């Protein structure tokens, strides 16, 4: 399973970076191959200073070896070995009219000292962080997510949409990071789903990413915007940074397992602001976004 899934994310990385380069029309992804001394490595691809994309990364990795003590405590296990692989991406567009997007699909195995698998699971998801709210874009993104889920289980979209709203939440700000999407973790074999069935589901979601995101980019990338709107985008990016550094489990896992720092922190935008005690003007488009972030919307119901 681990080789099958790693082959899948290698191919998916190629598909996504090729399509994003085509949309940008100027910038190309720079590729870095890296190794981890304890075992494994990855292929990092970063795009910067393009016509459409200011900064973004589409990274794959597979790491293995003894599970560090800090992560043993986190998983509540003893002295075990692990294998983890996944694709993680964050794309920060230049225009505040185009949303930031994040996605991740991953697979994890844990072994006893005889090399026997004692646990294995999939995780992942995809979510959207707009700076200006276009409701039809939110409906489109969530509709693609629901279609992917419904092919495997009619309850998945509602369950994983709710988990996404709960997970990507800046509790210290009392607001969501964005308008959500899907988030799932610890997807293990049970009476209802085998590991091959989980593989089929996770790859279905991965295959849906470009359909969910790129039509939104194409529709919004040439809209005009002002410096004030660009400032708002950078202020909101500050909230994105706060979530990734304060709450995100993936960032924590990377830092605690001696991951490659540049790859882990590629999710941070190039330009960002923290303005003291900032509040958007009443009844503005900016305030409209904040209201949605404080009160998650059932986007499919609003279609």
Q: Strands 117-129 and 180-187, how do they pair?
A: antiparallel
Residue 303 domain flag: no
Residue 301 lies in a domain: no
Is residue 95 pLDDT above 60, yes or no?
A: yes
User: Domain tally for the chain?
Assistant: 1
Using one digit for the tens of pLDDT, what is the confidence trace for 251-289?
887 787 777 888 888 889 989 999 999 999 999 999 999
pLDDT (mean) for 225-241: 97
Q: Is residue 230 part of a domain?
A: yes
Supply the CATH number for residue 91's domain. 3.40.1500.10
Residue 158 lies in a domain: yes
Structural domain includes residue 252: yes
Left (φ > 0), alpha (ψ -120 to 50) or beta: where does 186 sit?
A: left
Predicted TM-score of the model (pTM)? 0.94
> Per the structure block, which two tokens stand in for 281?
């003007």
Q: Which of 102, 172, 247, 278 is catalytic?
A: 102
Phi, psi (rounded to 5 degrees) for 180? 80, -160
pLDDT of residue 183: 98
Q: Does residue 300 lie within any of the structural domains? A: no
Token pair recorded at residue 23? 């949309």
What pLDDT is attached to residue 302? Answer: 46
Residue 16: band (very low, low, confident or very high) from pLDDT cuts 50, 70, 90: very high
Q: What is the pLDDT of residue 250?
A: 80
Q: Is residue 299 part of a domain?
A: no
Give the E-state strand segments of 14-69 in sequence order: 30-35, 40-48, 53-66
- Whether 18 has a pLDDT exceeding 90, the answer reads yes
228: pLDDT strictly greater than 90: yes
199: in domain: yes
Q: Are 60 and 206 in contact (CB under 8 A)?
A: no
Domain assignment of residue 202, given as a range: 2-294
Residue 102 among the catalytic residues: yes
């Amino acid at each position: 399973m681990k080789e099958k899934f790693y082959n899948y994310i290698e191919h998916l990385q190629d598909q996504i970076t090729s399509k994003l380069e085509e949309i940008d029309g100027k910038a190309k992804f720079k590729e870095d191959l890296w190794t981890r001394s304890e075992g494994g490595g990855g292929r990092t691809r970063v795009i910067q200073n393009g016509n459409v994309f200011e900064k973004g990364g589409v990274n794959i990795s597979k790491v293995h070896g003894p599970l560090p003590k800090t992560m043993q405590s986190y998983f509540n296990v003893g002295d075990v070995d692990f294998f983890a692989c996944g694709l993680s991406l964050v794309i920060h567009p230049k225009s505040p009219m185009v949303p930031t997007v994040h996605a991740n699909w991953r697979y994890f195995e844990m072994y006893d000292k005889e090399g026997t698998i004692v646990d294995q699971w999939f995780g992942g998801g995809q979510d959207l962080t707009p700076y200006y709210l276009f409701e039809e874009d939110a409906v489109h993104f969530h509709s693609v997510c629901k279609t992917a889920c419904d092919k495997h289980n009619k309850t998945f979209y509602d369950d994983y949409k709710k988990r996404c709203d709960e997970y990507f939440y800046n509790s210290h700000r009392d607001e969501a990071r964005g308008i959500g999407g899907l988030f799932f973790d610890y997807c293990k074999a049970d009476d209802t789903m085998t590991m091959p069935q989980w593989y089929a589901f996770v790859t279905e979601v991965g295959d849906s990413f470009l359909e969910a995101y790129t039509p939104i980019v194409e529709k919004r990338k040439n809209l005009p915007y002002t410096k004030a709107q660009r400032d708002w985008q950078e202020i909101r990016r500050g909230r994105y940074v706060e979530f990734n550094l304060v709450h995100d489990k993936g960032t924590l896992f990377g830092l605690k397992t001696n991951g490659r720092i540049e790859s882990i922190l590629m999710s941070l935008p190039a330009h960002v602001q923290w303005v003291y005690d900032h509040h958007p003007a009443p009844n503005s488009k900016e305030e409209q976004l904040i209201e949605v972030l404080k009160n998650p919307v059932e986007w499919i119901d609003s279609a």
